[in-house]
Chains A and B, each alone.
Chain A
Amino acid sequence: MFDPYSALGVNKTASLDEIKKAYRKLAKKYHPDLNPGNKEAEKKFKDVSHAFDLIGDEDSKKKFDRGETEEQQRHQYEEYMKRGAQQGNPFYYETQGPGTRYSSNFEEGIDAEDLFSQLFGERGRGGGGRAGRASGMQFPGEDQLFKMDVEFKEAALGGEKVITLPNGKSLQVKIPAGIEEGKKLRFKGFGGEGYGGGPRGDALVEIHIKPHPDFTRHGMDIHSELPISLFEAVNGAEVPVATIDGSVMMKIPSMVSSGAKLRIKNKGIGTEGHRGNQIVTLKIVLPKEMPDDFKKSINDLASKYTYDSRGTT
């Protein structure tokens, strides 16, 4: 059942004065002619008007508080909802459109640029008259934000890519070497259309770098991990190591432990001649399978050569 008190936002103990004030405040806010085309506002206005009708004057309020029958209320509600174009009883905004009489004051020489110069033309002149083509008040189009995925290597070393924006435009994107995650690249004029001859907005392309399974970025350096065997760790070795642009041979010194870091120069982030380094962290791995005789040899060595790797002695 419709509750006029809550529609107006007042307590059941509200005075007529408070009710009237509440009604006026809401009517000003939601009147359909002050919110043309806004159907929500119109519905709210009708609710508020109906509510005021029910409790806005002393007699009606008394009647309502006593409790009218539901049927009467429903009928009144329907009566109230009837205002609007469909019921032949239009709000002012519903009568307005191209070529209507009152709006023709503002429509001479229809074209967007003229319209805006009329409305927002040089300050200091009276409103309503043609102010002539003003230099101010053209509306630039809006900036539009797009997201773009970029490969780790592309982001590291730079590249070029042609992408198609959802608004249909093709964009040649130059990816600067070393670009950071989340950085936005601005492309002037690829955004929304301007109004009144105003310039187009820009396209903002937000870079998202796809994570790489083997490489991570640390500033200008690239970090990676290299598994090595027990024997390589003991004796040293020269092994191939993957970098973002190809494989290189790297010397592993003898007697290294896991966690040792080796540097490959100029295999990091940046452009030719200005690159950071790749930092390779060694990781000793045991063989996947260890035959029994291997294990036995190890255990013999262990009993003879056990050592403290944790430095507790």
Chain B
Amino acid sequence: MMKKLHEVCIECGYEPNMVLHYIREEWVIPVNRDQQLLDDEDVARIRLIHDLIEEMGVNEESVPIILHLVDQINVLQTHIKSH
């Protein structure tokens, strides 16, 4: 399901500037950049980034590293399950 950026911000209770920051950093890549549409993956990813920074105190430099590793783990799990 696609949602617009401001919808997501209201739903999650996040500042639009914060979410835009995530997008500018390319930690989240909206499924449709021009219209700034976000899908379920994007929304969940935004929540994760928020948790990492705001809840766990991760510094910004570490965010892409962590996301990179998390993505690989998820892929590995999918593969192992399907074997």
Interface residues of chain A, those whose CB is within 8 Å of chain B, are 23-24, 27-28, 31, 33-34, 36-37, 49, 90-98, 100-103, 105-107, 110, 112, 115, 119, 127-128
Question: Max chain B CB contacts within 10 Å: which of A33, A95, A115?
Answer: A33
Count of A-B contacts judged by CB separation below 8 Å? 74
> Which B residues lie within 8 Å of A119 (CB)?
72, 76
Could you name 29 residue pairs across A and B whose Cβ atoms are closer than 8 Å?
A23-B55, A24-B55, A24-B56, A24-B57, A27-B51, A27-B56, A31-B56, A33-B48, A33-B51, A36-B70, A36-B73, A37-B77, A91-B44, A92-B41, A92-B45, A93-B70, A95-B45, A98-B78, A101-B39, A101-B41, A102-B41, A105-B71, A106-B71, A112-B79, A112-B83, A115-B75, A115-B76, A119-B76, A128-B68
Residues 9-27 of chain B: 1 if any A CB is under 8 Å from the residue's CB, otherwise 0? 0000000000000000000
For the complex formed, measure the closest distance between the CB of B58 and the CB atoms of chain A, giving whole angstroms: 8
Cα-based distance from A7 to B44 in the complex (angstroms):
25
- The DSSP consensus for interface residues of chain B is helix
Q: Which residues of B contact A (CB under 8 A)?
A: 29, 31, 39-41, 44-45, 47-48, 51, 55-57, 67-68, 70-79, 82-83
Contact in complex: A91, B48 (CB < 8 Å)? yes
Contacts of B70 in A (CB 8 A): 33-34, 36, 92-93
When distances are taken between beta carbons in the complex, the residues of chain B under 8 Å from A93 are 70, 74
Contact A103 B79 (CB under 8 A): no
Interface pairs A-B: 10 shortest CB-CB: A96-B74, A92-B48, A92-B44, A95-B44, A95-B41, A106-B75, A103-B75, A28-B56, A33-B48, A90-B44
A194 to chain B, nearest CB (A): 12
Query: What distance in Å separates the Cβ of A152 from its nearest Cβ neighbour in chain B?
Result: 44
Contacts of B68 in A (CB 8 A): 127-128
Residues in chain B near residue A96, CB distance under 8 A: 41, 71, 74-75, 78
Chain B residue contacts of A97, Cβ below 8 A: 78
CB contact under 8 A between A31 and B51, given known A103-B74, A115-B79:
yes
Interface of A is mostly: helix
Seed contacts A93-B70, A115-B76; 5 additional CB < 8 Å A-B pairs: A31-B51, A96-B74, A101-B39, A103-B78, A127-B68
Complex Cα spacing A69 to B45, Å: 36
Residues of A within 8 A of B79 (CB): 110, 112, 115
- A197 nearest CB across to chain B (Å): 13
Q: Which residues of A contact B48 (CB under 8 A)?
A: 33, 91-92
Interface pair A102/B56, CB less than 8 Å apart: no
Q: State the CA gap A28–B76 with chains docked (Å).
A: 21
B74 in contact with A27 (CB, 8 Å): no
User: Are A92's CB and B82's CB within 8 A?
Assistant: no
Give the contacting residue for A106; candidates B41, B45, B47, B72; CB below 8 A: B72
Q: How far is the CA of A112 from the CA of B76 in the complex (A)?
A: 9
Interface centre among A23, A28, A102, A110 (most CB of B within 10 A): A102
Closest CB in chain B relative to A231 CB, distance in Å: 75
**Contacts A91-B44, A94-B44, A128-B68; A107 near B55 (Cβ below 8 A):** no
Q: Judging by beta carbons under 8 Å apart, are A100 and B83 in contact?
A: no
A89: min CB distance to chain B, Å = 8
Do A90 and B40 touch across chains, with their CB atoms under 8 A apart? yes
B11 — nearest CB in chain A belongs to which residue? A89
